[in-house]
Structures are given as C-alpha cells and as structure tokens.
Structure 1
Amino acid sequence: MMHVFAKRVMQCVVATSLGVAAGHTFAQAQVIDSRPATRASTAGASTTTAGNISSQMFGRMQQLEQEVLDLRGLVEQQAFEIKRLKQQRLDDYTDLDQRISNLMSSQGAAAPSAAPSRSSTSNAAASQPISGAKPVSERGLYSDALSLLLQKKDFDGSASKLNQYLKSYPNGLFTPNAYYWLGEISLSKQDLQDSQQWFSRLLKEYPGHNKAPDAKFKLGKLYFQLGDKGNAKSMLSEVAAGGTPAAQLAKDFMSVNGLL
C-alpha cells in the first residue's frame, strides 16, 4: 500500500511539474507574440505625430507668406508717401524762397531814393531772362535744380541747372539762392576754392539775404579748413553774435575747435 501511495504521489508531482512548465512556456510564447503588435502600434503613433507636425509647418508657412505680402504692401505705401512728402517739401521750400525774395524786392523798392546798387536791393532788378535764353520759367528752372540736388542727389546735374539759371536770369529772384547751393555742391565735392568763391560772391552781392548767415558760417569753416584761423574766427564770431539759426552752429564749431 505504501508503495502504491508513493507511486501516486510521484505521478502527481510529475504531472504538476509538467503543467507548470507548460504554463511557463505558453506565457513566453504569448510575450513573444505580443512584441510585433507593440511595434506596429508605435509606428502608427509616429506616423500620426509626423503628419500633425507637417500640417502645422504648412500652416505656419502660409501665415508667414501672408505676413510678407502685408509688409511688402506697407513698404510700398510708405515709399509712395515719402515721395509725396519730399515733393511737397520741395514745393514749400521753393515757395518760401520766392516769398522771401519778393519781400526783399519790395523793401528795396520802398527804400529812399539813392543810387541803386545790387547789394542794397539784392533782387530789385526785374527777373527777366536775357536775350536769346530758352523759354523756361524762372521758378521751374530753379525748382528743377533743387529737385536734382535734394531728391536725386545729382550734384553735377543740379550745378548745371543752377548755372543755366544764372545765365538765363542773372538778376533773378533766386540768384542768391543759386550762389548758395553752388557753394554747397562744391563743398560736398571738396572743391574748397570754388565753394569759397560762391559763398563770398553771395556775401558781397547780397549781404542782407536770408542765406547770408549760412554762407558766412560755411565760409568761416572753410577758412578754418584752409588753416586761416584768423578769418575763420572773425567770420564765425559775426555769425555767433546774430540771432539766426546759424548762430548756435557757429558757437558750437568755435567751442569744439578752440576758437572762443
């Protein structure tokens, strides 16, 4: 009986062991079989994420393109407005020049009778073109010269127009202004001698003109550049003592360069 009982116990143990082993093997098989499913799921999630990123990038690119178009339109609008303002400033400046010249002509004509001189009456002479001159309006010719200078920075073209103006209207309303701008053009080209001649001519022929203080200031700076500190200080001191906008410029220049 004991032998039979022991045999049955051994059979149960063996059966139990086989069952455990089989269960373990089945579990391993299940784990192994589940791995491909996990990889497929990960790949699907990655594809979805990449698609979302591409869609977002495309949307962002469209937004940036629209912003660029908007900015381009704004730049074009501002460029047009700047051009309009420049033209308006040029017209206003020309009008101001003409009003000042007319005022000075009226004051010269109302002065006590005396031998008329170019210095005292500046623009008293009628601004008619000389014989044989081209039929170009005085204001138009001067305005063209200023436009080339102030808007297009065409110094040579402007100088040519200003000289044409002086030839056509030697006693014109804008003659002293033409002298001044020719001096400025020569100064910008570092032609100091030519610049000095134009500014000096303005001061000699039109000492009371509104451009005279500016011309004197520029002439004082020219003397300083040429090493003539005596004349430079004399010129600049006269400007600094006046009440014109050039006065402070003269004071600052003298202070910086030790001429006070």
Structure 2
Amino acid sequence: MADTATKTEGIVSVEQFGAKGDWNGSTGTNDTQAFLDTKAFIESNGGTFFVPSNFNCYIPNGVDLFGLRNIKIEGTLTGLDTTKEIIVGVRAAVTLPFKGHVNRLVNLKLKVQGVKNGDLTVNTAPHLLLWADSSVADIDSLAYSNFHLGKVDHFEINSLGTGWINENKIFGGRLTNITIGGSGTYYHNHNVFYSPTLENSTININIGTSNRLLGCRFEGSNTINFGSSTWDNEIVRSWHNAPGSFLRGQARTSFTDNGKGNSC
C-alpha cells in the first residue's frame, strides 16, 4: 500500500505507487498502471505528479494525464511508437494554472490540450502536439501559454473543427518540422516562436494568420510552405549558414506562398 502521508506534502512520485523505471531499451516493467494510480491519488488529494530523474519508465501505449495541474517528469518515458500519446493539460473552460516539466520522451508523442495561462518545459521529444477539438468543451481551445523547448523533432499546432490555438509563446527549441493547421478549419493565430534553431527543417503553415517565427537560426536546406488558407505570417531570420549572410536581410530564405502577404 502506498504511503499516503508522504504524498500529501506536495510531490507524489510514481515510485510510491509501484513504478520501477527499469526499462533498458528492450526489457523492463510496464509502469502504466503505476502512472494511473498516481493520477487517481492526485485527483483526490492534490499534489505534483513526479517521475524521478534516474527512471526510464516503459509506457508502451501512452497514458492520459489530462486534468493534472502540476507535472514534473525528470526521468525518461519510453513507448512503442510516436502514435502513442502522453496527454497533459487541464480544462479549457476555466482558466486554471498548469505547470509542467517533461525531460525526455522516446517513441511517444506529447499531446497538450485545454491549457490556458500555462507553462511547459520540454527538453527532448520526437513530437509535441498542441491540440484543440471544438466538439469537446474541455479541450476546445489552448491559449496564452508559454512553451520552453529543447530538441523537438516535430512541433505541431492543430485541431478538429473550429478548435482554436492562439496567442502562445514558444521559446527556443531545435526543431526539425513545424506544422500549423491542416486537420481543422480554424485559422490559428498570433502564436510567436522566439529564436528557434532550424536545421534541414520543414515548415508547413497550412491554416493560420499572424503567426511569427522570430530570430530563426537557419542551417542546411530548409523548406517553407504557406498554404492557401494563410495570410500575414512572418518568419524572420537572424542567422544563416550561407557565406556572408550573418546579418539579417543580407540573404533571403526561399519559400512558397500560396496564401496572401506571408513573408520570410
């Protein structure tokens, strides 16, 4: 039985609910049930969901941690493939604070939904999805939040129906692919990226307006596409590896604009 007294003090560790964190890349314990038990305790008693730094937890099919306001994953979570999701966030209808830290995901997608005025740090992940679904009131929007990124292979803003994702700030990040829109019909807008590193990257802004990528560091061969349902999006380069292009404006970054008034 878990020691309740230690959990009511703030930090609620998955280890206390039986997680082993012993995945070595091929064998180890499936820690999914321990994650669910930890979540259930916090929903009733409060606290911060915690994974120790020396843990590599095997969560083969992902896990739904939606509803937890404080998450601190200092270790590694490993899944089967990036179609499996770690879901985090809180109810969009009420402005509840959300604070999250995710150190490292392997073969898992991190899906964030419903967050307003939140703050999330992600050090390493193959896929980070900011998500909204207009048919579900609790996750019909995501806005006014800060995201601090390390290495994220695919950063995506997307939704179903008219679910909206606006006015978020994304800081840093070494990003290989960026996608905005494409699944729903809403024009996601006023999301601002600050100083991302883009090396051999692909940027597809399919649906959206007035999104900004500022202070971008480009290197290698990059592909930038603005879809027909876009306008007034802007990508500003601060550095490029082409000789003599170290000053902004000395060299242009090529792009395809099928929308209106997009610039790079």
Report the TM range for the smaller structure's normalisation: under 0.3
Task: Tell me the TM-score normalised to structure 2 length.
Answer: 0.27
**More strand by proportion, 1 or 2?**
2
Task: Tell me the TM-score normalised to structure 1 length.
Answer: 0.27
- The one of the two structures with greater contact order (alpha-carbon pairs below 8 A, sep at least 6) is 1
Larger Cα-atom Rg: 1
